[in-house]
Amino acid sequence: MNFDYSDEQKMLKEEARRFLGARCDTAVVRGVLDDDDRHHDDALWRAIAAQGWLGAAIPEAYGGLGLGHVELCALAEELGRALAPVPFASTVYFVAEALMLLGSEEQKTRWLPKIAAGEVIGAFATSEGPGAVAPGRIATRVADGRLSGTKIPVTDGQIADLLVVLADDGLYLVEGPVAAEPLATLDPTRAAARIVFDSVPAERLGDEDGFAAMQAVFDRAAVLLAFEQLGGADRALEMAKDYALQRHAFGRAIGGYQAIKHKLADIYVKNEIARSNAYYGAWALGSGAAELPLAAATARVAASEAYWFAAKENIQTHGGIGFTWEADPQLHYRRSRQLALVAGAPAVWRERLVAQLERRNAA
Amino acid sequence: MDFNDTADEAEYRARARDWLAANVAAHKAIDHGDDMAAARAWQARKAAAGYAQITWPKEWGGGGGTPIQSVIFGQEEARHPVQYGYFTIGLGMCIPTVMAFADDATKQRFVGPALRGEEIWSQLFSEPAGGSDVAAIRTRAVRDGDDWVVNGQKVWTSGAHYSDFGIVLVRTNPDVPKHKGLTMFWLDLRAPGVEIRPIHQMSGGSNFNEVYFTDVRIPDSQRLGAVDAGWKVALVTLMNERLAVGGGGGAGPKEILKLAREVDGADGGKLLHDPAFRQKLADWWVQAEGLRNTRMRTITALSRGQTPGPESSIGKIIAANQLQDIGNSAVEAEDQYGIIADPALAPLRGLFQSATLNAPGLRIAGGTDEILKNIIAERVLGLPGEIRTDKDAAFRDLPA
């Protein structure tokens, strides 16, 4: 038993922090936020690809580094901390994971090396409207190898070269670029689009029923997203703490008042719970454990709650300045919404968690 | 990260499992009389096999094992009905303090009997005027020849009514600031002048006591650490406390899940099918798992030779609050019937009613929620301490 990163994994994580510290300060994030025509930071994306991170968990046989999923979790934590405005999650946590989990040998050979090399941006298209994605409610259809339907929102849809699309009977690969209409979202530092597929060529991905296949991909993405959320939540706590030490009111640093101290202690407690559950999720993902669906749901609910709480209370700790466009707390507030919704909202995951508990107790 | 046993760990677990299977059966086959006698017998059995304090060195009767082995044995022991709480404070807090500060003869005299469950120890720190503010201690010790004469009162002393010995923190110098005039001693709780009165708790039980000292003579040879250096000694004891206090016991997500399968919810179906209940159940599970996995991270730190810091404070905050929330949610889920606490009538033998009544104590004992949050804010996050008017003033000048 060992419940921590290994020394090598810690080194990788420190290296990633240094790299992102130099390449992805909040000015880079704001570059995307303030420019409606930019959907990601291409220079950062290329630099990340050059590091080999896109292929961290992709086997060497498919052009990756073959490090493993715990290493990918360590990178995710740093990307989340830095608010990296790049299509990393869409490409790696969703599309590459879907290919590795469900793809045929031919599909894997064709796409994974390109993903690892940074030549292909991916997008995972499931939602069709307000409310939870559920079996029997998917209108997208495939007939004679051609897919039709509307997906909204599709994260990174307008920059994707390869889309994995949920149809009523299964997941399908659709090659981009596709006509996509950019959307105004809560987090403009991440791209999102509405896509109308009108009889586009589509190739089946895996044999599983569509909803089950989507869930299997979501389970894997949920663990990786939990690490991004954890990284963001840690950073939001740091920002709140730094500000509380520096800001004086009524003759002393506001961090000396219990109202602020207890608030930050509450954030810390939630972050530690999220960290411990994320670690368990990383183990389940990396070792292929049967507990993955329950561990993933546990990690996701904890991380979504922690990041939301840290992000909103970071603004509160900053007071009026925290509500301005120029101050950085809004970046985490926005990203916490994007990450909490992208693979299904917390309420959906809580329901999924209890369903897993019922199944486990029945067995 | 690896949540599976290594080969060595699996072997250790298998041995522990076999030992427990054989010894629990043998233990249960004997009529011990009362619960305390059974507890002592089980403790002696574990001590003989090196399972009483697994991480202690063998020369002191321990198992010479690792923190992970201790966790493994704890997991396996928890599957059996041999949970006795009488020795936790003594072995978790008092004896480690004795081992750190007493002379060799004292250690030789006391460590073994405590380990075997023959003698039970209490910790006497809190006072009527000093709960969260432990250093506000007023119990006074005055030097008289080779002895100290002690007068005053302690309170919230867990288990004093069945304990043999204790470690006690007293004021030896009221003319210096309060942290600088305290001294620690060990004492015989049956010494003349010691009077123990159980406190009747709101939950109905009596786990805590008031302990009165009237001209109690404690030989100077029973001092732990230097005169007026008791605060440093107490910090060693308290550091062990938060590890020892730990979990809430009993009413957790699994227990309320069991209830939810059986009782009807507001919409006519079973409670387990009520979406609002399911959302709450998920959050309880997330917290309980988070706590379990956080403990495992602490163990990993221990096994790498790191000292667990104040971050382990989060365990008690979460466990106590969750116990209160689950207890009350279950009571409310039982609807009108939930008011019934009689174990013969209430679901799960009144587990949730009992949790509801006990939880307020858990949120206070061993550091209140509020003090623990101060500790996290100050020692983990580095935020400023409270404004204090007492730090540099002589203790005798402080308002009482």
Digit-coded pLDDT (tens) for A200-230: 999 999 998 889 999 999 999 999 999 999 9
pLDDT digits (tens, 9 = 90+) for A89-142: 999 999 999 999 999 999 999 999 999 999 999 999 999 999 999 988 999 999
Chain A residues with CB under 8 Å of B383 CB are 241, 244-245, 253, 255-256, 260-261, 264
Question: What pLDDT score does A3 carry?
Answer: 87
pLDDT mean over A19-41: 96
Cα gap B383→A182, rounded to integer Å? 44
| Percentage above 90 pLDDT, chain A | 95
- Segment 37-66 of chain B within 8 Å of chain A by CB: none
Cα gap A278→A81, rounded to integer Å? 15
Chain B residues with CB under 8 Å of A258 CB are 370, 373-374, 386
Q: Is B6 within 8 Å of chain A by CB?
A: yes
Residue B8's closest chain A neighbor by CA? A1
Q: Which fold has domain A7-116?
A: Butyryl-Coa Dehydrogenase, subunit A; domain 1 (1.10.540)
**How is residue A207 annotated by DSSP?**
S
| Class of residue B379 by CB neighbours under 10 A (exposed 0-12, middle 13-18, buried 19+) | middle
**Where in the sequence numbering do the catalytic residues of B fall?**
241
Chain A residues with CB under 8 Å of B275 CB are 351
Q: Is A256 within 8 Å of chain B by CB?
A: yes
Q: Is A119 within 8 Å of chain B by CB?
A: no
Residue B279's closest chain A neighbor by CA? A350
Question: What pLDDT score does B241 carry?
Answer: 60
Q: Is A354 within 8 Å of chain B by CB?
A: yes
Q: What is the pTM of this model?
A: 0.93
Question: What pLDDT score does B391 carry?
Answer: 82
Q: Which ranges in chain A are annotated with CATH 1.20.140.10?
A: 211-362
Low-confidence stretches of chain B (pLDDT < 50) are 244-248
Nearest to B286 among A244, A275, A302 (CB): A302
Q: Which fold has domain A211-362?
A: Butyryl-CoA Dehydrogenase, subunit A; domain 3 (1.20.140)
Phi/psi-derived region of residue A74, left when phi > 0, alpha when psi is between -120 and 50, beta in every other case: alpha
Alpha-carbon distance A241 to nearest alpha carbon in chain B (angstroms): 7
Hey, which bits of chain A come out as E strands? 122-125, 141-143, 146-155, 162-167, 170-175, 180-182, 192-201, 203-205, 248-249, 252-253
Question: What pLDDT score does B104 carry?
Answer: 95
- Segment 303-322 of chain B within 8 Å of chain A by CB: 304, 311, 314, 317-318
Cα gap B22→B29, rounded to integer Å? 11
Pick the CATH number of A122-209 from 2.60.260.20, 3.40.50.300, 1.10.10.60, 2.40.110.10: 2.40.110.10
- Segment 257-296 of chain B within 8 Å of chain A by CB: 257, 272, 275, 278-279, 281-283, 285-287, 289-294, 296
pLDDT digits (tens, 9 = 90+) for A224-271: 999 999 999 999 999 999 999 999 999 999 999 999 999 999 999 999
Judged by CB atoms closer than 8 Å, whether chains meet at A256 and B383 is answered as yes
Cα gap A157→B319, rounded to integer Å? 44
Q: Give the position of tokens 């063998």.
A: B58
pLDDT digits (tens, 9 = 90+) for B201-248: 999 988 899 999 999 999 999 999 999 999 999 988 877 665 544 444
The superfamily in CATH containing domain B246-380 is Butyryl-CoA Dehydrogenase, subunit A, domain 3 (1.20.140.10)
User: Which CATH code fits B121-233?
Assistant: 2.40.110.10
For chain B, what are the domain ranges?
7-84, 121-233, 246-380
Judged by CB atoms closer than 8 Å, whether chains meet at A258 and B281 is answered as no
Question: What pLDDT score does B130 carry?
Answer: 84
Q: Are B165 and B226 in contact (CB under 8 A)?
A: no
Q: Best residue in B293, B317, B321 to probe A by mutation, most A CBs within 10 Å?
A: B293
Residue A352's closest chain B neighbor by CA? B282
Cα gap A29→A24, rounded to integer Å? 7
Judged by CB atoms closer than 8 Å, whether chains meet at B286 and A273 is answered as yes
Q: Is A313 within 8 Å of chain B by CB?
A: no
Residue A1 confidence (pLDDT) above 80: no
Judged by CB atoms closer than 8 Å, whether chains meet at A268 and B380 is answered as yes
Q: Which ranges in chain A are annotated with CATH 1.10.540.10?
A: 7-116
Judged by CB atoms closer than 8 Å, whether chains meet at B279 and A350 is answered as yes
Residue B4's closest chain A neighbor by CA? A1
Q: Is A349 within 8 Å of chain B by CB?
A: yes
Q: What sign results for the dihedral spanned by CA atoms B48, B50, B56, B57?
A: positive
Cα gap A26→A292, rounded to integer Å? 34
pLDDT mean over A16-35: 97
CB pairs under 8 A between A and B: 158
Residue A188 confidence (pLDDT) above 80: yes
